[in-house]
A and B are shown apart, each in its own frame.
Chain A
Amino acid sequence: MTAERRGSERLVDLLSGQEEKLVGQWIEGVSHTLRGRLSAGELGHELRELYAALVAALRSGEDWRAEAFSEVRALLTELSRNRARQGFTPTETATAVFALKDLLAPSSETAQEDITAYLRLNRLVDALGLFTVETYAKTREEIIGSQAEQLLELSTPVVKLWDGVVAVPLVGTLDSARTQVVMEKLLQTLVDTGSDQAIIDITGVPAVDTEVAQHLLKTVVAARLMGAECTISGIRPQIAQTIVALGIQFGDIVTKATLADALKHALRRLGTENPAVAARSAR
């Protein structure tokens, strides 16, 4: 039997020999760092499962990337995802894994063989700890990404102003990505509500650049291709100056000073100037 193999077996023996006591110590150590923000039952269940999986995996080797460790990796992934969602810090998350080392911490009386086993565990735990932190970071990124998306959704409400008229009041700085989202959402709303008049109100937009102006233009042209008319309202003097200075042709696109004017125009387009009549004639 090789020394390699013997070291492995010794590690398994040490961990499984006094399993109850070691798991207890581990849970104790970790719960201390979490200062009671996770229920004892929950934490105990989590770590017990992980410990069992780790010992089982160690019987077939110490390569944490191996197939035998898939259960361990899955449990660690779940652990770090949960911690990230619950707002624990990366340190608190990783400490749960690193605390495993303390269980076999050698003293001056520890046998040479057991020190070797401890060092092997050390190496493995380091790798698993890094894996945990990486998963944690990835989860946080996902959370941030989906929040950014939600924010984008929130910031671009498409509202129905009248039967056959929808409007999107834009507030804040428009960048290319946001303008694109607005464009897609507005066009989809035209279909969903069967509206053939759309108003893009940019009263709350402090400035536009060439790209954004082009996106607005494209939205109007796309709406026309679908059979709807688009009016742009609330263009500030500075924006008008910018658009002209940039040499962007707004061509035959209808622009109005205020949202009210645009609505009046849209209703006239719908076939009447009297809102009551428009309401009655609409389904």
Chain B
Amino acid sequence: MTERIPVLKIGDVLLVSIQTDLEDQSVMNLQEDLAARIVETGAHGVVIDITALEIVDSFVGRMLATTAAISRMLDAETVLVGMRPAVAITLVELGLSLGGVRTALSLEKGLALLAGADPVRADRA
């Protein structure tokens, strides 16, 4: 029995908040659930909050990158928010760049980024 992470809908943005250390199958499930929910809701943005994550290894990192790519194909922009400094340093050392995933310091800034409140960031994507 693998747990499923809830995907919340706020306006036309989907919010996923990862709260626990995930086993690999749950990570895969999340990717599927999210893709299905984007199509179902017609959402234009996805915010993945990893504030609570103490570890992002290459498996989770790859999932985050592919999730962003899949969402983009489904016309939804993904923003990854709340990465801890220690996690960021470790990912860089690991050699993982998450190529192309947009990031923001906090949930608030992530939502603002999707809402286009930050013109500089928006045209950088």
Taking Cβ atoms with an 8 Å cutoff, the residues of A that contact B are 183-184, 187-188, 190-191, 194-196, 218, 221-228, 268-271
Q: How far is the CB of A43 from chain B (nearest CB, A)?
A: 48
Determine the residue in chain B with the shortest Cβ distance to A218.
Answer: B92
Task: State the CA gap A184–B110 with chains docked (Å).
Answer: 22
Determine the residue in chain A with the shortest Cβ distance to B103.
Answer: A227
Task: State the CA gap A221–B83 with chains docked (Å).
Answer: 13
Contacts of A222 in B (CB 8 A): 85, 88-89, 91-92
User: Within the complex, which residue of A194, A195, A225, A271 is in contact with B88, where a contact is CB–CB below 8 Å?
Assistant: A225
**Given A187-B89, A191-B85, A196-B109 contact (CB < 8 Å):** yes
User: Within the complex, which residue of B83, B93, B119, B120 is in contact with A226, where a contact is CB–CB below 8 Å?
Assistant: B83
Inter-chain contact B109/A184, CB cutoff 8 Å:
no
Contacts of B92 in A (CB 8 A): 218, 221-222, 225
Interface of A, secondary structure class, is: helix
Determine the residue in chain B with the shortest Cβ distance to A187.
Answer: B85
Judge whether B68 is part of the interface by a CB distance below 8 angstroms. no
User: Within the complex, which residue of B98, B109, B110, B119 is in contact with A225, where a contact is CB–CB below 8 Å?
Assistant: B98
**Given A196-B109, A269-B120, A271-B119, A223-B88 contact (CB < 8 Å):** yes
Inter-chain contact A218/B105, CB cutoff 8 Å:
no
| B contact residues, total (Cβ < 8 Å) | 23
Q: How far is the CB of B97 from chain A (nearest CB, A)?
A: 7
Taking Cβ atoms with an 8 Å cutoff, the residues of B that contact A are 80-81, 83-86, 88-89, 91-93, 97-98, 102-106, 109-110, 118-120
Task: State the CA gap A222–B105 with chains docked (Å).
Answer: 12
Task: State the CA gap A184–B89 with chains docked (Å).
Answer: 8
Q: Select the residue from B86, B89, B110 with max chain A CB neighbours within 10 A.
A: B89
10 CB < 8 A contacts A-B = A183-B89, A184-B86, A191-B85, A195-B105, A222-B85, A224-B103, A226-B83, A227-B104, A227-B110, A228-B105
Contacts of A191 in B (CB 8 A): 84-85, 105
